[in-house]
Structure 1
């Protein structure tokens, strides 16, 4: 335990771990492009999933107490979590977070999360002070290329969206993409901290993702189609970010990739304080769209294959 988090932490074979937690599902009513998202049970079922998954960033909260133990006060100023999601978690399942420092670099640690039955939820890194070698920056160098651009036909690497105003006050509804407030999230969050409810509340790491991605304007991804977070990195540069602060968000497509089931746009969101040249935080997202959720995908794919791409 620490003054920042009452979370009990144990250590075994160099791995710090927190308790089993049951994260809450808060995106049942999420919608975009006029339709429900993967977090809706019925929509998830139509695509072959057991139920609507817990949103990936939610899992970041279970790592914050471990990161404070590992990195101390610096976590709040330059902390970074970088994760590749391996298996979905549905409401009611319990998970545990693990962290182990790398012997060769005190600013970098390996992280993983497991369900109660040992199923791996995510793997990645936690770090401070801009440490190189984070999980996703390494992953960017070995992406599987996108063979056929169908859903992402009109998206190009280097596309940028100029800075847009953004904020997150305690009782501010975050829109159709995130149909809840920061206060409602704090009522359900797995790890509580007095810093989150102070006179100048710190925005939890998982909610920095909401700040980066809640604006409705997006890149020209064809639809309707269903997307999910496959990889996510949140890095504080000049933290902490505070509730009620004015920010500006700038987005750039930094990579495109593909898998058997998805087309992915890797989007870097830079969160600035107004007038600043240095971002306060940087969020890297692998926004993966399910091929089978796009009507006519296989037909277009066959046509492109027949034409040799």
Structure 2
């Protein structure tokens, strides 16, 4: 017997204080849930930090487990549990699974143990692996009383092929009112592979886009798709999966995006659109990445929710 213990211990990152970058975010002519006043009006203590910001804290741990393959064929799948506001400390954990060396469980929590997110990660072919969002989608019940999202349908595709590029100084629009350079100045886990000064030293010979900023790249043009519910309504990210197929994604590279609704759901407080975004290299049209996003809108933020629910279904 060469190993004295039967289980591999979980890896644990350092406590970090992620920064709020979306206080000035706007869409549909109004501020978002990340604005303090808007958040407080919906019963929250302050504008929360966007969920994928926490993905950066997993990158060093997952690179430690999987090596550079993490940035080439990595998949991170997470369900967001509790919001984090600026000033709170968060720690990331990764737990290897002995029976599957390509797959790990992961979670993040605040200093006091409050859960932030739970999920999974892998490298290589992710088909058949028990990833967090795949399991949640499989267990969804068909919605019976959609109001805000009643005009949307599973299988509905975006109106256009969206063209996108992220340079260091590219302003990513009203949805993301900051640049990659702004993010790199405050990112919780800096890396020379991300930077304009040293990115050429990465294994791929050029700067790569951090995992959390893939969400920004793919989300910045989402309004072009036309795949949104009735307005005005305030949304938030409830879960997210980013999967690299031929990664990394690179700074100053042209990509094309195609979107499709793969599920619709509802809870007592929200209605959700589960959207798959496929990322293609603009030159070769090779499929290089995919994202699944559970975009939830808060029923209480839609002014006519109760009256329209009564008219449609006989009750609010």
TM range, normalised to the smaller chain? Answer: over 0.9
Query: Residue 238 of structure 1 contacts residue 279 of structure 1 at CA under 8 Å; is this kept in 2?
Result: yes
Q: Which residue of 2 aligns with 1:3?
A: none
- More divergent stretch after superposition (75-84 vs 275-284): 275-284
Shift of 1:303: 2.8
2:229 to 221, 235, 247: 221
Query: Residue 79 of structure 1 contacts residue 127 of structure 1 at CA under 8 Å; is this kept in 2?
Result: yes
Query: Residue 144 of structure 1 contacts residue 259 of structure 1 at CA under 8 Å; is this kept in 2?
Result: no
1:279 to 287, 292, 298: 287
Q: Which residue of 2 aligns with 1:195?
A: 193
1:249 to 257, 279, 286: 257
**1:60, 1:148 → 2: CA distance?**
33
Matched ranges for 1:93-112 at <5 A: 93-112=88-107
Query: Residue 8 of structure 2 contacts residue 98 of structure 2 at CA under 8 Å; is this kept in 1?
Result: no
- The SS at the match of 2:105 is strand
Matched ranges for 1:71-110 at <5 A: 71-110=66-105
Shift of 1:60: 0.3
- The SS at the match of 2:102 is strand
1:210 matched to 2:216? The reply is yes
Matched ranges for 1:168-179 at <5 A: 168-179=166-177
**1:77, 1:234 → 2: CA distance?**
12
- More divergent stretch after superposition (130-139 vs 187-196): 130-139
Q: Which residue of 2 aligns with 1:167?
A: 165
- The SS at the match of 2:153 is coil
Query: Residue 277 of structure 2 contacts residue 292 of structure 2 at CA under 8 Å; is this kept in 1?
Result: yes
Shift of 1:57: 0.7
Query: Residue 146 of structure 2 contacts residue 266 of structure 2 at CA under 8 Å; is this kept in 1?
Result: no
Q: How many correspondences in the alignment? A: 297
**1:153, 1:281 → 2: CA distance?**
29
Q: Which runs of 4+ in 1 moved over 6 A?
A: none
Between Structure 1 and Structure 2, the one with more strand by share is: 1
**1:45, 1:126 → 2: CA distance?**
33
- Show structure 1 runs of 5+ residues with no match: 1-11
Shift of 1:163: 1.9
Cα displacement string for residues 253-302 of structure 1 (whole angstroms, at most 9, x for unaligned residues): 00001111100000001111024454211010001000000011012222
* TM-score normalised by structure 1 residue count: 0.93
Q: Which residue of 1 aligns with 2:40?
A: 45
Query: Residue 61 of structure 1 contacts residue 191 of structure 1 at CA under 8 Å; is this kept in 2?
Result: yes
RMSD (CA atoms)? 1.5
- More divergent stretch after superposition (42-51 vs 133-142): 133-142
- The SS at the match of 2:67 is helix
Cα displacement string for residues 76-127 of structure 1 (whole angstroms, at most 9, x for unaligned residues): 1011110000000001000000000111111110000000000000000011
- Show structure 2 runs of 5+ residues with no match: 1-6, 201-205
- The SS at the match of 1:287 is strand
* TM-score normalised by structure 2 residue count: 0.91
Shift of 1:306: 2.0
Shift of 1:145: 2.8
